[in-house]
Amino acid sequence: MRTTSQLSRRARTWVTALVAAALVMVGLPASADTSQHRPAYHFSASKNWLNDPNGLVFHKGVYHLFFQHNPIGTGWGNMSWGHATSKDLVHWTEQPVAIPFDANEGVFSGSVVVDQENRSGLGTAQNPPMVAIYTSAYTAASGRDGIQAQSLAYSTTR
């Protein structure tokens, strides 16, 4: 049986790890939004807010990282999927927004896979699709304010 002090130490360790991970993912405030304030060996968007990783896939020699991102602001909102690529998991290139928000929908968390065998039929055997499944958060403009649903997006271009 564990004692209260053992649980407290374990809890403190987990809290410390979670805070460190959150600081890496969230990045820095806009006032420190310069390359000299960015992590050297972890991905961080070049600007604005980012959060949850939504998938890391490897395809044709390239790692693709997708993440929650506000492409137009430093705070939570305008939820979209950012995209970055790497050949070595150390040096990253930020790509254009993969799945952008619009007036009708925020693009919340999900995951992505490479459909290597094209079982979805959304690509070809020679060019399999990346398939993302994510939560759509509908806005008042959509007429479905507050409703969330599972959505699918795919790409055959990289």
**Residues with a known catalytic role:** 52
Strand partners, 50: 69
Contact 86, 63 (CB under 8 A): yes
> Distance between CA 118 and CA 126 in Å, rounded?
9
User: Which of 115, 82, 111 lies closest to 98, judged by CA?
Assistant: 82
At CB < 8 A and 24+ separation, what contacts does 116-124 make?
Answer: 120/154, 122/154, 122/156, 123/154, 123/156, 124/156
Our CA dihedral for 68, 71, 74, 77, rounded to 10 degrees, sits at -60
> Distance between CA 139 and CA 148 in Å, rounded?
9
Helix and strand counts by DSSP (H, E) for the chain? 1, 7
Q: State the DSSP code for 15.
A: H
